[in-house]
Structure 1
Amino acid sequence: MGKGVNSATMQAEQLKQDGNLYFKKNKLGAAIDAYTEAIALCPKIAIYWTNRAVCYRKRNDWRRVEEDCRKAIQLDHHSVKGHFMLGLALLQREKYAEGIKDLERSLDLARGENPYSYMVEEIWQELSKAKYQEWERDSTKRSWELQNLKECCEIALKEKHLCAITQYEGFTDEVTGSTSEQLKALNSVFSKAAEYDTPTEVPDYLCCKITLDIFRDPVIAPSGLTYERATILEHLNKVGNFDPVTRQTLYPCQLVQNLAIKEAVQAFLEKHGWAYKMD
């Protein structure tokens, strides 16, 4: 029995390798078949399901992506690719809250495994795009509702104005002046309310001095300057062990996560509904 199990495991692993090779050659059908056979032999291996989901993702077959990723997550709750692609599949169905939740989960898992991996960057980009799309959708709805409400208020004021003129015939100028002031106040109130849905620039202190992009994983150096972790580590590795701004000696072990800036970035993004669109 043990030999049979080992044989099936070895065969499934070989099928996975075959599937990987087919995928690299863009033979998606053959890759899907190989992963499907591997799943039939060893259905409890999460990576076989996520590998097949990758193929379906490339075909834009999001229903199957969702199915395979849900199965992978059942088998391995810590599957980075499972949560990532499930999030993407849910976004395709405009289930933003659920999709964003899975993307955030995959980002946390990816950072825990390797904070400098390509997956962290890819997930971050997709997450920022998803949050912007969610904000844009909600913003459009709010703007439409706000405009309708403003028009109703303006109509009510004008009707009130006409009634007042009829009632107080000798005070036309006073009534008109009062209505004019009320309309100005109304426009001011609604303009202020609309500011929430207006894209805004990110303050300089929330941006890395090297990339000039908003911080994602900020770390502070002994000089007091804050950098994006992946960027400063790349500088130290390729250029030399010194602070790129102050030129002071700097080693990776001296970098400390800047929690204050990280929280400030999160607060900014939440306040502005991710209205700052990341490229």
Structure 2
Amino acid sequence: MVAHGGSLSAAAKQAEQLKLLGNSCFKKDRFGAAIDAYTEAITLCPNNTVYWTNRALCHRRRNDWAKVEEDSRRAIQLDNKSVKAHYMLGLALLQRQEYIEGVRELEKALDLGRGANPNGYMVEEIWQELARAKYLEWENASTKRSWELQRLKSTCECALNEKYSCHVSQMEGFIDDVDALHSEELKALERVFCEAAEADMPTEIPDYLCCRITLDILRDPVITPSGHTYERAVILQHLQKVTNFDPITREPLNPSQLVPNLAIKEAVQAFLDKHGWAYKV
């Protein structure tokens, strides 16, 4: 039994050395060598979550998203509270356009990250990716609805044209009446689907693209350590004139802790570009 325990200890030490080697290779952008080192570490200690997430990060750098997903899922099986595993799984799912599941994993990572280290760099990074993912999710759903409306409209037009052809062959003496009726039906169809398309277009910018204080569209968004995004000028005014606390979480907040939220800024601009709003960020 003692010898067996010693063997396990030796394996764990060797695995840790391999992890350090993998970390060194990763910093030098030698991702293939890093993957080999982490793989050997996994072989020695397959239940160590860090080895799996480290290898997943290497696969991410190589854009091998299938392997990112595979390693991340394995890490989650070992530790369901792994922030990095949920985060990278979310990114991998977004690459497969699994937006709903991807957003869910990123939200899980954000919740875990805030609980473990609210001021850590991972929280900011996850939050920005989550904002981008929510926009992609909304855009995908909107595009899908647009295509469905277009297909339904085409089907209805075909049915009206078939009806018109049938009436023409049966009512040769009333061609003008048939033409007039057909024209009115096509106009009515066009009107109905135009109204349906307009109803599907957003009348407001999504909440996550608006300042949490003013509820206006974000132009110069900044993110706080707690993960909330505000308009820079508005939150600075709040800190100077009201109190040095985050207005939502009530946690202490200094101007130096505000970080530009570039992901939200890009998402706002993409939203405005797509929907033809008259102003720019």
Q: TM range, normalised to the smaller chain?
A: 0.5 to 0.7
Give the gaps of 5 or more residues in structure 2: 251-269, 274-280
Residue identity over aligned pairs, in percent, reads 53
Give the gaps of 5 or more residues in structure 1: 220-227, 236-241, 259-274
C-alpha spacing 1:196/1:134, structure 2 compared with 1 (3 Å):
farther
Aligned residues of 2:113 and 2:122 also touching (Cα < 8 A) = yes
Task: Summarize the alignment of residues 1-279 of structure 1 with structure 2, pairs less than 5 Å apart.
Answer: 1=2, 2-157=5-160, 160=163, 163=167, 172=176, 180-195=183-198, 198=201, 202=205, 206-208=210-212, 212=219, 229=228, 244-245=237-238, 247-252=240-245, 255-257=247-249, 276=271
> Secondary structure, in 3 states, of the residue corresponding to 1:43?
coil
C-alpha spacing 1:15/1:159, structure 2 compared with 1 (3 Å):
closer
C-alpha spacing 1:277/1:74, structure 2 compared with 1 (3 Å):
farther
Distance apart, 1:45 and its partner CA: 1.2
1:250 partner amino acid: T
Distance apart, 1:103 and its partner CA: 2.4
Distance apart, 1:28 and its partner CA: 1.4
1:256 partner amino acid: I
CA offset digits 1:32-77 (Å, max 9, x no partner): 2222232223221101110011111111222322221111111100
CA distance in 2, matches of 1:186, 1:161: 14
CA distance in 2, matches of 1:52, 1:147: 44
CA distance in 2, matches of 1:200, 1:134: 18
TM-score, normalisation: structure 1: 0.67
Distance apart, 1:257 and its partner CA: 4.0
CA distance in 2, matches of 1:42, 1:123: 28
Aligned residues of 1:19 and 1:32 also touching (Cα < 8 A) = yes
State which drifts further: 59-68 or 196-205: 196-205
Q: CA RMSD in A?
A: 4.2
State which drifts further: 184-193 or 133-142: 133-142
CA offset digits 1:69-88 (Å, max 9, x no partner): 11111110011111121222
Aligned residues of 1:19 and 1:35 also touching (Cα < 8 A) = yes
* 1:239 corresponds to: none
1:54 partner amino acid: L
Distance apart, 1:3 and its partner CA: 4.5
CA distance in 1, matches of 2:206, 2:92: 33
Aligned residues of 1:116 and 1:230 also touching (Cα < 8 A) = no
CA distance in 2, matches of 1:144, 1:200: 20
CA distance in 2, matches of 1:211, 1:170: 60
C-alpha spacing 1:18/1:203, structure 2 compared with 1 (3 Å):
closer
TM-score, normalisation: structure 2: 0.67
> Secondary structure, in 3 states, of the residue corresponding to 1:47?
helix
CA distance in 1, matches of 2:236, 2:100: 40
C-alpha spacing 1:108/1:213, structure 2 compared with 1 (3 Å):
farther
